[in-house]
Amino acid sequence: MLTVGNDAAQVERQLREGQLACPECGTALSRWGYGRVREIRLAGGAGWRVRPRRSICRGKDGCGQTHVLLPAGMLARRADSAAVIGEALALAAAGLGCGVIAGRLGRAAATVRGWLRRFVSRAEALRSAFTVLACALDPDPLLPGPSGSAAADAVAAIGAAAVAAARRWGELASVLSPWELASAVTCGRLLSPGAAVQMINTSCLW
């Protein structure tokens, strides 16, 4: 799986011009059909109908692997957008409970509880990884201090990485929200077990 920008037309252009590279071997990716259509829930009850593009590494020196190109606004295997889930995580870090968060977002309490449980289980690893990312993006990052819980510290580290990206790339980075950034650098696996955090491939996103 490879994270790309949210503009489908731009993704098509990048594939056509060979701007998207295989994350395994670096060979330019080619178009390879589509994934299944998904309905992603946005804030306020709006919907986002997405049919992720599939790609294949089939150049002369390619590895032949296929990759789903997941928009940065989505998380893998989640029905809600990265922004909605991120808002829930930020509200929890601010001290709100599942019921209150669910009411604000118009989601089932069990759904919100599932997001928070998975995030908390990975909070320390995410805090560490996004702190490292912030330092890699900015030689003098604005790092947060301890905030009282592992989950709150992880949310703060994601915010710090977003600030570092903005300082490095300016207006380009403003295209992505902090939670789309978090989706991008985890290839949509922010809430998946063992997801790695990596440096942003800006050519994939802008």
Q: How far is CA 190 from CA 26, 74, 134, 170, 196, in A?
A: 23, 10, 16, 24, 9
Contact call for residues 10 and 68 (beta carbons, < 8 A) = no
- Neighbour-count burial of 110, counting CB atoms closer than 10 A to its CB (0-12 exposed, 13-18 middle, 19+ buried): exposed
The tens-digit pLDDT sequence of the chain (206 residues) is: 888 988 899 999 999 999 898 888 889 999 999 999 999 999 998 999 999 999 999 877 778 899 999 999 999 999 999 999 999 999 999 999 999 999 999 999 999 999 999 999 999 999 999 999 999 999 888 888 888 899 999 999 999 999 998 888 876 656 778 999 999 889 899 998 877 787 665 555 55
For 75, half-sphere exposure in the C-beta direction (CA atoms, 13 angstrom radius) is 25
Q: How many residues does the chain have?
A: 206
Unique residue bearing structure tokens 């998207």: 20
Give pLDDT, residue 201.
56
The structure tokens listed for 75 are: 């998380």
Give pLDDT, residue 196.
74
Give pLDDT, residue 146.
84
> Of 71, 93, 125, which one is at a domain's C-terminal end?
71
First to last CA, the chain: 18
Give pLDDT, residue 154.
96
Per the domain annotation, does 40 fall within a domain? yes
Taking the model in full, what pTM does it have?
A: 0.90
Tell me, yes or no, whether 46 and 125 share the same domain: no
The residue segments making up the domain with residue 50 are: 2-71
Count of structural domains, the chain: 2
Count of beta carbons in the 10 Å neighbourhood of residue 80: 22
Per the domain annotation, does 77 fall within a domain? no
> Of 41, 71, 101, which one is at a domain's C-terminal end?
71
Tell me, yes or no, whether 14 and 88 share the same domain: no
Give pLDDT, residue 174.
62
Q: Is 172 left (phi over 0), alpha (psi -120 to 50) or beta?
A: alpha
Tell me, yes or no, whether 110 and 160 share the same domain: yes
Tell me, yes or no, whether 144 and 165 share the same domain: yes
